[in-house]
Amino acid sequence: MFKTTHSLLAEALTGPVVLAGDPGWDDARAGFNLMLDQHPAAVAFPAHADDVATAVAYARAAGLRVAPQATAHNQGPLGGLDETLLLNVSGLQQVQVDPGARRVRVGAGVKWDRVAPRLSAHGLAGLHGSSPDVGIAGYSLGGGMGWLARKHGLQCNAVTALELVTADGELVRADTDNHPDLFWALRGGGGNFGVVTAIEFTVHEVEDLYAGALFFPFERSAEVLHTWSALLGTFPDELMSWASVMHFPPIPDVPAFARGRSYAVVMAAHLGTEAEGRELLRPLRALRPERDTFAAVPPVVLGDLAMDPLDPVPFRLTHQLLDELPADAIDELMAKVGPGSGRGPTVTILQFRHMGGALSRALPGAGARATLPGEVCGMALGVVVDEASDAAVRHALADFDAVMRPHRAGLYPNFVEEPADASAFFAPAVWERLRAVKTDYDPADLFAGNHHVPPARA
């Protein structure tokens, strides 16, 4: 009976609808994290905003919930998708760039890799994160912390308008003049309020950019992390730096010199001249890295800087926003997961991002995610290849969390990969306001955002 009903949706939509058992079902429900397996009632691929409205109206009438999704880079928190229509917006691919006005408008399915090169050609940069493969809409709805965040803040607060289909099937524009509460909630409150069809945002002029990475032998990880963390107080907002310990797989996507090797790596992007950047990084360079890729570069280079995987990977991830990264915590962590711990590449990527700067200052008119707490974001990711490595990764990530917990300032929803209580991500007054907006726009809780904001009376 359900199959017949969903066939009605397929007839009504311009884009395809894929059901269990159809050819292409596994591709339609695939995500970025190969550890996870989504089982929605159906997957619809709207071709345009009218299709989105049709699908939302259909789901409501059929008693299904609606989970908006673009690239499935963050499908983990959604949990079970029983009785849920997965609305994959990847067909919404319009891109308009107005370099003079420093404004961009994209369809909700557009990834950063379609926009960053075009902006770079005009000396402009958007506030994308480490991977250009991430979707602009999902990234922006959850916050968006990238290479220019200490100078320009979170991407959600660069958003100037969103168009979305709300629970009553209406296509609305949310900006400072129209549906201002909804506009506020969408900028940090995630996919709980409707299906975004288009998003508009401002971008930044980049006159000078000095960026790259210093690679040190893995065995020197503790020394590199200590030197980097001691320098953070000297860095201006124009400099965003990340210190990582990375185990690179022996695959063609990895630069040839790093394939199958392990390094401590300091990456940075400095919005300034090469001379300034060199001076700021002098103490790190004095450690004599094995390889130094820093150069004056165009903004498009920022998409490759972190060397994130573009193909789906099986992994577990944990993170903490930290008030500080004290020296004894580095030592404890190195003893648990660093060289000499005997754990090898179990924590495939251990990463610390310098935060603060504009991330800690609320702009007038900011959205629900106005700031992020903490001076450092610590993250540990383990690639899982089999049951034994899964147990080892879980154990190592638990050790990371235990060492970091005393310094914890909060959590950042975009980096939470499991179902979680979303109230923990917001100050109580922000959470109450988000729930009030949810109650106004989606009282029956039709939309399943990656991190659930329930209506006040649910």
Distance, in Å, from the CA atom of 2 to the CA atom of 84, rounded to the nearest integer, reads 12
**Do the beta carbons of residue 455 and residue 445 sit within 8 Å?**
yes
Residue 139 sits in the site that holds ligand FAD (CB under 6 A): yes
Q: Is 214 helix (H, G, I), strand (E, B) or coil?
A: strand
Show contacts with ligand FAD in window 18-37 (CB under 6 A).
32
Question: How many Å apart are CA 152 and CA 154, to the nearest integer?
Answer: 7
159 binds ligand FAD, rule: CB under 6 A = no
Residue 267 lies near ligand FAD (rule: CB under 6 A): no
Q: Is 146 in the site for ligand FAD (CB under 6 A)?
A: yes
Binding flag, residue 367, ligand FAD (CB under 6 A): no
> In the set 129, 132, 303, 378, which binds ligand FAD (CB under 6 A)?
129
Which segments of 123-261 are extended strands (E)? 124-125, 159-165, 171-174, 195-202, 204-205, 210-217, 239-247
Which candidate, 223, 217, 224, 218, places its Cα nearest to that of 242?
224
Three-class SS state of 381: strand
Q: Is 308 in the site for ligand FAD (CB under 6 A)?
A: yes
Q: Is residue 170 classed as helix, strand or coil in its secondary structure?
A: coil
Q: How far apart are CA 85 and CA 65, in angstroms?
A: 6
Q: Choose the binding region for ligand FAD from 127-135, 220-228, 235-243, 371-379 (rule: CB under 6 A).
A: 127-135
Q: What are phi and psi of 189, to 5 degrees?
A: -85, 0
The stretch among 136-144, 211-219, 232-240, 425-433 that binds ligand FAD (CB under 6 A) is 136-144
Among 40, 91, 132, 143, binds ligand FAD (CB under 6 A): 143
191 binds ligand FAD (CB under 6 A): yes
User: How far apart (Å, rounded) are the C-alpha atoms in residues 221 and 264?
Assistant: 5
Query: Considering beta carbons, is residue 222 or 355 the nearer one to ligand FAD?
Result: 355
Does residue 280 belong to the site contacting ligand FAD (CB under 6 A)?
Answer: no
Q: C-alpha distances in angstroms, 258 versus 8, 96, 224, 263?
A: 52, 37, 18, 8
89 binds ligand FAD (CB under 6 A): yes
Q: Is 204 exposed, middle or buried (0-12, 13-18, 19+ CB in 10 A)?
A: middle
Q: Which is nearer to ligand FAD, 155 or 222 (CB)?
A: 155
Shortest reach from residue 407's CB to ligand FAD, in Å: 20
Q: Does 414 bind ligand FAD (CB under 6 A)?
A: yes
Q: Would you count residue 71 as binding ligand FAD (CB under 6 A)?
A: yes
Comparison of 40 and 339: residue with beta carbon closer to ligand FAD: 40
CB of 19 vs ligand FAD, minimal distance in Å: 20
- Applying CB under 6 A, the residues found at the interface with ligand FAD are 32, 68-75, 78, 89, 108, 129-131, 134-135, 137-139, 141-146, 190-191, 195-196, 308, 414, 449-450
